[in-house]
Amino acid sequence: MFDVTNLDDDTCRINVLTDQGFSIYLNGEKIHTQSRNESIPAYRPILLGEKAKKYLKKGTNTLAVYTKVRYEEEKRAAGQFYPVG
């Protein structure tokens, strides 16, 4: 959760550190999805466009991120699934 005091800013940006696909929700509304997977984690800057900014409200906001879990390939081949991380 985070607070917003000014809705008049020209841009809003979110940085996500991930190497897997993810979906971002702002106040219960999906505002961004990225499905590609990368082998190395990196920050993914996302600028909120007008469509996403309409879900931003003055006061307390809720941001939720759902991401994929990555598994070690050799464990997957053996039928055992253990998250990496």
pLDDT (0 to 100) of residue 43: 83
- Say what the pTM is: 0.73
Direct distance between the N- and C-terminal alpha carbons of the chain, in angstroms, rounded to an integer: 24
- CA dist 42 and 26 (Å) reads 22
Residue 51 lies in a domain: yes
Residue 82 lies in a domain: no
Q: Are 32 and 4 in contact (CB under 8 A)?
A: no
Count up the domains in the chain and report the number.
1
Return the closest-CA partner of residue 9 out of 58, 64, 63.
Answer: 58
Cα diameter, the chain: 54
pLDDT (0 to 100) of residue 20: 77
Q: What is the pLDDT of residues 13-61, one digit of tens each?
A: 888 887 778 899 999 999 998 877 666 777 878 888 888 889 999 999 9
Q: What range defines the domain where residue 12 resides?
A: 2-77
Residue 26 lies in a domain: yes
User: Does pLDDT of 82 surpass 60?
Assistant: no
Question: What is the pLDDT averaged over residues 56-78?
Answer: 78
Q: Are 11 and 48 in contact (CB under 8 A)?
A: yes
